[in-house]
Amino acid sequence: MMFKGSMTAIVTPFKDGRVDEKALRRLVDWQIASGTDAIVVCGTTGEAATLTYDEHFAVIDAAVEESAGRVPVLAGAGSNATANAIKLGRQAKEAGADAQLQVTPYYNKPTQEGLYQHFRAIAEVVDLPMILYNVPGRTSVNLLPETTARLSNIDSIVGIKEASGDLGQVREAIAKTPDDFALYSGDDAMNFDIYKAGGAGAISVTANVSPERVSAIWDAHDGGDDDEAERLHKELAKLNKAMFIETNPIPAKTSLAVMGRIQEEFRLPLTPISEGNRRELKDVLKEYGLI
């Protein structure tokens, strides 16, 4: 498989309304030093929906330059307009990303045929490996296993990030796609179960704040020790839950700010965490020795 392991869906740090490139580069270095197998920029956790095209390009460029080939960089390039997704995919290629992450078009609610034609159209003109991204809770559309199987026959479509929350759907998608087509967990609470089902890794939110622990679960599984992987996964349950105490990436960015790694800054319509949830989040971070 082209990419596998613990991959961090990294936040985009902001400072005074702009992308904080220095903080982003520090995060990339820390992630790599902590055992992360790939960096995923400009995804949901990276607040991609609020980035301008220029910022989108700058974030990918900085991550690629800072990683310097040590780990792959996967770039979110999705849009609910196929022409825009093509533009972003080409931009990711130009910036040197190793793959593009393409989310199912949100808001328009395309049919399964529409989803197939959308991804096929991008694959035909953007010369960059594509990972599909299925997250019905965000997009109101579910990429079904039959459609994933059709798309897996296109050479440049190499995998899918599955965040449907449906383990049955995950198993069906794995069963219906070729062995060299990768399925990645898009839900930290399900990482171990998806690994056991045949998943090739995770694109993780929790790895933003505890990359070593998330990596250790994959490494134990990949090394054949599922008992240890399951133990580590269960240990991480409270932190995984805390990362979704409010809309992602509010808890992850708040945590990183409390940990002293970034400024606590969001772009509307995302807002700072409520005070009650802040206290609860800090208690969890203390419990895991992160602050």
Of the listed 93, 161, 184, 253, which one is catalytic?
161
Question: Which amino acid type is present at position 112?
Answer: Q
Of the listed 116, 133, 184, 195, which one is catalytic?
133
- As a whole number of angstroms, the distance between CA 27 and CA 33 comes to 10
- Is 161 among the catalytic positions? yes
Question: Which amino acid type is present at position 8?
Answer: T
- CB-CB contact of 183 with 155 (8 Å): no
- Alpha-carbon dihedral angle through residues 36, 65, 264, 252, given to the nearest 10 degrees: -20
- As a whole number of angstroms, the distance between CA 171 and CA 183 comes to 10
Other C-beta atoms lying within 10 Å of the C-beta of residue 155: 8
- As a whole number of angstroms, the distance between CA 78 and CA 110 comes to 14
Which of these, 131, 136, 248, lies nearest to 201 by C-alpha position?
131
Collapsed DSSP state (helix, strand, coil) of residue 117 = helix
Would you state the structure tokens that stand for residue 264, as one six-digit string? 């606590």
- Is 238 among the catalytic positions? no
Collapsed DSSP state (helix, strand, coil) of residue 9 = strand
Which of these, 129, 130, 164, 133, lies nearest to 43 by C-alpha position?
133
Q: What's the DSSP call for residue 189?
A: G
Task: List residues with catalytic annotation.
Answer: 133, 161
